[in-house]
């Protein structure tokens, strides 16, 4: 695909509510939420793996529901509550999911981990004690190449047990 060499880029001031902090940003309207989080807000905990909505690595929560930030434009989520991995811990205290992932070795290279943690958080908010198959179903959109998924399943179960 040929890239446009020059074009007039439309920009808008968009207010984003990320991890409870509101920021107004002047953004090209075509820039994805993933790019804005990483490049304009320095929230690099959100990773990219494909930029095509295939791997789940860039998952963030919008009003508590997982969204692929590479497929979302900021204007779609202006004013809604966005949670990234940086907003998962309460200050220096890890979220129970983070704690369980750390304890059980559920993160190896760690690149898919932020997205998986956020998908898992959303799951546990709607289903406090999911079965292993329900966890598999909820996380099926998040690929991981290191762990073979086993330790991730165990960590979600451990966290769910501790949270209820």
Partner 1 sequence: MSTNGKFAVIGKPLPRVDAVAKVTGRAVYADDMLLPRTLHCRILRSPHPHARIVSIDTSAARRMPGVQAVITGADLPIKFGILPVTQDERALEHEKVRYVGDPIAAVAATDEEIAAAACDAIAVEFEVLEPVMSIDEGLAAPKDERIQDYGGPNNIHKLVALEFGDVEGGFARADHVREDVFFFQGSTHLPMEQHSAIATYVDGRVTLWSSTQVVHYVHRALAKVLEMPMNRIRVIGAAHGGGFGGKTDPFAHEIIVSKLAMMTGRPVKCTLTREEVFYAHRGRHPVLMWVRTGVTRDGRITAMHFRSALDGGAYGSYGVASTFYTGALQTVTYDIPAYRFEGCRVFTNKPPCGPKRGHGTPQPRFALEVHLEKIAHELGIDPVDLKQGNFVKPMTRTVNWLRVTSCGLDECTERVMSASGYRKREKRSGHGMGFAISSYLSGAGTAIYWNDMPHSEVQIKVDRGGVTAYCGAMEIGQGSDSVLAAIVAEELGLQPPDVRLVTADTDTTPIDLGSYSSRVTFMAGNAAIEAARKMRAMLVEAAASKMACDPTAVEVGGGRIGDFSFEEVSILAEARFGTLTSAGSYTPPKIAGPYKGAGVGPSPAYSYSACVVDLDADARTGLVHVNRIWIAHDVGRAINPLLVQGQVEGSVYMGLGEALMEEQAFRKGLHKWPSMLEYKSPTFLDMPDVETFIVETVDPEGPYGAKEAGQGPLLPVPPAVSCAVYDALGVWIDEVPITPEKIVEGLRRKAKGEPARFGPPRFPAIPYPPPIKVEPPSKDLDRAAPAAI
Name the site residues for partner 1 (rule: CB under 8 A). Answer: 2-6, 38-39, 42-52, 54-55, 57, 84-86, 88-89, 94, 98-99, 101-105, 107-114, 117, 135-137, 139-153
Please classify residue 162 by burial: count the beta carbons closer than 10 Å to its beta carbon, then call 0-12 exposed, 13-18 middle and 19+ buried. Answer: exposed
Least Å from the CB of residue 97 to partner 1: 8
Rank residues 79 and 105 by Cβ distance to partner 1 and give the closer one. 105
Rank residues 6 and 164 by Cβ distance to partner 1 and give the closer one. 6
Residue that has been written with the tokens 């070795």 in this structure? 105
Q: How much of the chain is helix, strand and coil, in % rounded to 5?
A: 40, 20, 45
Least Å from the CB of residue 45 to partner 1: 2
Rank residues 2 and 22 by Cβ distance to partner 1 and give the closer one. 2
Least Å from the CB of residue 93 to partner 1: 11
- Cβ distance 27 to 40 under 8 Å? yes
Q: Any idea of the CA torsion for 125, 17, 80, 24, to the nearest 10 degrees?
A: -170
Least Å from the CB of residue 132 to partner 1: 8
């Amino acid at each position: 695909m040929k890239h446009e060499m020059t074009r007039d880029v439309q920009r808008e001031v968009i207010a984003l509510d990320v991890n409870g902090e509101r920021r107004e940003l002047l953004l090209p309207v075509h820039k994805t939420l993933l790019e804005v989080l990483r490049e304009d807000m320095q929230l690099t905990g959100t990773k990219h793996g494909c930029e095509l909505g295939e791997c789940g690595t860039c998952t963030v929560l919008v009003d508590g529901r997982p969204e692929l930030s590479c497929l979302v434009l900021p204007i779609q989520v202006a004013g809604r509550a966005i949670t990234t991995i940086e907003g998962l811990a309460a200050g220096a205290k890890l979220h129970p999911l983070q704690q369980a992932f750390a304890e059980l070795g559920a993160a190896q290279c760690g690149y898919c981990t932020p997205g998986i943690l956020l998908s898992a958080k959303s799951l546990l908010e709607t289903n406090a004690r999911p079965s292993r198959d329900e966890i598999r179903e909820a996380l099926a959109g998040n690929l991981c190449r290191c762990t073979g998924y086993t330790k991730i399943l165990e960590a979600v179960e451990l966290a769910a047990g501790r949270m209820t």
